């Protein structure tokens, strides 16, 4: 019953945000780099933060340093959704948020190189999620799969977080998907959504890895990771500025050049990551080998896809 009430509350909170966004004109206008064609409300992903906020309040303020970091990420990202913020300010806030997260993880009691690994990990995941948030449903659908896999691990393999946290997060994602996983989305996640859910998943994966000392769980982000890293490499080969907006990710070519419906592309990414998660459970005794095989296989698929279809991107640009 409590989760039904939480779902209703989150649903009402999202609807309330839509009224606010409409009133203050918080919208996403398509441009030449967009994969959508109509003006849509931006920042609907704030519901991820709202879900964690409800958990934080009703569960006795658990994980306070993480929550403080998440609040900083959500605030600066929401401000950036409304009006572009200084890169220096955003980087400073992200750095402070990560320090708070590291303290929650207990990294300050571990050797210094754990901090370096964590910094690379956090920066990579946050940027990957921000880069990959470009079509209807992809952020919510992918995050739901990752959260579901983490729930399975927490339930049947090793307890690394309060299970109620995962339930509330899944409810928030489902609410967002109701409005976003459509041919014509009611809202987009915005930076506040993409970066907030990325920070949340980083927190969860970090706790799992620290608890088990098993880095093979990174395979739960393999699809996003391979697409992001290889697209950066591809753009460097093309001598492009890697931080400028573009449409060279595989999902963008599928949606734009191949004209595949957004929900189909998002479902492909969701389904592929779900299959990889199932494989992790099946081959858990060979985690690192499985991680290597998955990354190599995804890389081969990426290269073959780009060799066959990237010419369409050039034709469209010309």
pLDDT the model gives residue 246: 83
Tell me which residue has tokens 């998955």. Answer: 294
Question: What are the backbone angles phi and psi of residue 63, rounded to the nearest 5°?
Answer: 55, 55
Lowest pLDDT segment from 48-52, 85-89, 197-201, 297-301: 85-89
β-bridge mates for residue 28, sequence order: 40
Does position 316 have pLDDT exceeding 70, yes or no? no
Could you tell me where the DSSP H helices lie in the chain?
Answer: 2-23, 46-58, 64-82, 87-105, 112-132, 138-156, 163-180, 190-212, 222-237, 250-256, 262-282, 287-317
Q: What is the dihedral of CA 244, 246, 250, 251, to 10 degrees?
A: 110
Split into its structural domains, the chain has a count of: 1
CA-atom Rg of the chain in angstroms: 19
Domain that holds residue 51: 2-317
Q: What is the pLDDT of residue 125?
A: 94
Q: What is the dihedral of CA 228, 53, 165, 213, to 10 degrees?
A: 50
Average pLDDT of the chain to the nearest whole number: 93
CA–CA separation, 117 and 124 (whole Å): 11
- pLDDT tens digits, one per residue of 66-114: 999 999 999 999 999 999 999 999 999 999 999 999 999 999 988 888 8
For 113-131, what is each residue's pLDDT tens digit?
889 989 999 999 999 999 8
Average pLDDT for 16-30 = 87
Instruction: Give the mean model confidence (pLDDT) for residues 34-38.
Output: 54
- Residue 284, phi-psi category: left (phi > 0), alpha (psi -120 to 50), beta (remainder): alpha
Q: Rounded to 5 degrees, what are φ and ψ at 40? A: -140, 150
pLDDT at 315: 58
Residues 243-268 pLDDT 10s: 787 889 999 999 999 999 999 999 99
Ranking 52-61, 74-83, 287-296, 304-313 by mean pLDDT, the lowest is 304-313
């Amino acid at each position: 019953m409590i989760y039904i009430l939480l779902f209703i509350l989150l649903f009402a909170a999202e609807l309330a945000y839509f009224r606010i966004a409409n009133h203050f004109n918080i919208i996403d206008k398509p441009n030449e780099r967009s994969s959508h064609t109509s003006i849509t409300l931006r920042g609907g992903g704030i519901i991820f933060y709202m879900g964690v906020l409800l958990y934080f309040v009703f569960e006795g303020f658990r994980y306070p340093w993480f929550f403080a970091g998440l609040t900083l990420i959500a605030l600066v990202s929401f401000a950036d959704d409304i009006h572009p913020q200084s890169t220096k300010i955003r980087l400073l806030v992200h750095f402070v948020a990560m320090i708070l997260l590291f303290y929650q993880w207990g990294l300050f009691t571990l050797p210094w190189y754990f901090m370096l690994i964590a910094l690379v990990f956090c920066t990579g995941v946050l940027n990957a999620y921000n880069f990959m948030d470009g079509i209807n449903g992809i952020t919510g659908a992918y995050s739901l799969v990752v959260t579901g896999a983490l729930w399975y691990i927490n339930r049947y393999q090793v307890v690394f977080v309060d299970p109620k946290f995962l339930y509330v997060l899944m409810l928030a994602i489902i609410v967002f998907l109701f409005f976003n996983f459509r041919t014509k989305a009611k809202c987009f996640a915005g930076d506040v959504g993409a970066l907030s859910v990325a920070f949340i998943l980083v927190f969860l994966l970090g706790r799992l890895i620290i608890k088990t000392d098993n880095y093979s769980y990174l395979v739960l982000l393999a699809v996003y990771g391979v697409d992001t890293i290889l697209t950066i490499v591809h753009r460097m080969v093309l001598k492009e500025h890697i931080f400028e907006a573009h449409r060279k990710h595989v999902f963008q070519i599928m949606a734009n050049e191949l004209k595949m419906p957004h929900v189909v592309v998002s479902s492909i990414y969701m389904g592929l990551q779900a299959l990889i998660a199932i494989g992790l459970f099946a081959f858990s005794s060979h985690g690192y080998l499985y991680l290597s095989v998955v990354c190599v296989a995804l890389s081969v698929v990426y290269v073959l896809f780009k060799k066959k279809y990237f010419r369409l991107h050039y034709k469209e640009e010309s």
